[in-house]
Structure 1
Amino acid sequence: MKKIIVLGLSAALLAVLASCGSNPEYSSSSSSSSAQETSQTKASDTTDTDFKVSVDDAIEAYQEAYPDSEITSIDLETSLGKYLYKIEGVDDDKEYELRVDANTKAVSKEREENLDTEDQAGVKRTEDKLDLQDLLSIKQVSDIAEEHVGDGKATDWSLDKEDGTTYWEVKVTNGNEETEVKIDAKTGEVLETDVDD
C-alpha cells in the first residue's frame, strides 16, 4: 500500500513539473531573465569604449558652458558606476571644471575659481592650452594601448600636454596589473609605458 501511495505521489509531482516546463509564460520569462543576466554580466565584465558621448561632444558641451576659455585637461573615468568626462579649462582670470556624462551628455558644473596672480593675464591659458584639432578617438587610443600592452582592457583615459605635445594617457588593466600608456593624441605613436603591479 505504501509503494502505491509513493508511486502515485511521484507521478503527480512529475505531472506538475512537466506542466510547469511546458507553460509558455514560465519558459519565456525564464529565458528572457537569463538573457538579461547574460547581457548584464557581459556589460560588467568589459569596458565598452563606444560611449554614446564622444570626446568631441564633451568638448562641445564645455565650450557652450565656457565659450571664452581654453581646455587644459580632459579625463574620462568611472564614478559611482558611470563614466564621466571631467574637463578643466581656464580663461585669463579663472579656472573651470565641468563634468559630462559619457552616456547621457548630462552636464554639471563642478568648480569655478580665480587663478593665482602668477597664472592670470593669459599665462596659464597659453602654457596649458591643449591642441584639440584632429584628436584620435577613445576607441582608437584604446586599441593602440591594448595592442601595445598585449593583455588587458582600457579603463581610464586622460588628455594632457607635455613639452608642447598633446597626448592621451590610457590605463590598461589586466587583473591586478595596471599599465599606463602615453600616446600622441594626433599620430597614435606610443610615447611612454609605465607598469604598476
Structure 2
Amino acid sequence: MNAYKDINLTPSEALQVFKDQYPETTVKEVELELKAQAYVYKVEGYDDEKEYKIYIDPNSGEIQETKEKRAKRVEKEITQEHTDKIQTIVDKALKDGNGTLYEWSLELEDGRAELTVKTDLENGQHANYKYDLDTGELLKKK
C-alpha cells in the first residue's frame, strides 16, 4: 500500500489534469480514495452534454481510467481555491483523531463545498469528519 505522506500530486494538480483533459467542463467532485491498497484521485465534471470521470495516479499524475455518460445539471463548481484548502483540513482531521487517512471527498452540497475525511484510528476504529471547506468549520463527526 502506498502511504498518504508519499503522494506527489496535490489536489490542485489533480484538478488541473482533469481541466487539461476536459477544458470546457465544470468540476463537481474531487476525491482521493483508497482502491486495491493504493490511493487514486477521482475527479468528476460535466458540460452541457456529458459527465466525465477520470482516475489519476497520485504519484505520476497519469490518467488511469476515464468514463463518460449523459450529463445532469449542477449549479456550482469546484475551483482551485477549494482544492488548495484540502490539505490543511485533512491534516486537521488526522491530528484530531491521531489516525491515518483512508480517503477524502470534496463535493458540492446545496451550493456549499463540503470535505469529508475518512480515517482509520490506531485502536482499529474509524472516524468520519465533514467540514465546510470555505469556513473550515467541522459540520459533523462520527
Q: TM-score, normalised by structure 2?
A: 0.86
* Structure 2 counterpart of 1:89: 45
Name structure 2 gaps, 5 residues minimum. none
User: Equivalent residues in 2 for 1:1-197 (5 A)?
Assistant: 47-115=3-71, 119=72, 124-126=73-75, 129-134=77-82, 135-138=84-87, 140-149=88-97, 151-174=98-121, 175-194=123-142
* DSSP-derived class of the 1:125 partner: coil
Deviations 1:13-36 (A, max 9, x none): xxxxxxxxxxxxxxxxxxxxxxxx
The change in CA–CA distance for 1:53 and 1:81 in structure 2 (over 3 A counts) is same
* SS of residue paired to 1:133: helix
Which one scores higher on RCO, CA 8 angstroms, separation ≥ 6? 2
Alpha-carbon separation, structure 2, partners of 1:50 and 1:161: 28
Q: Which structure shows the higher strand fraction?
A: 2
- Measured in 2, the distance between the counterparts of 1:163 and 1:125 equals 10
| CA offsets 1:130-168 (integer angstroms, 9 cap, x no match) | 244253133x2222112333x322221101111221021
CA displacement at 1:74 relative to structure 2: 1.2
Separation of aligned partners in 1, 2:78 and 2:13: 16
Aligned residues: 140
Quote the residue 1:39 is aligned against: none
The structure with the largest alpha-carbon Rg is 1
Aligned partners of 1:47 and 1:153 also within 8 Å: no
Give me the TM-score of the superposition, normalised by structure 1: 0.64
Amino acid at match of 1:169: T
* CA-CA distance at 1:49 after TM superposition: 3.3
Specify which structure has the higher proportion of helix: 1
Q: Shift of residue 51 of structure 1? A: 1.7
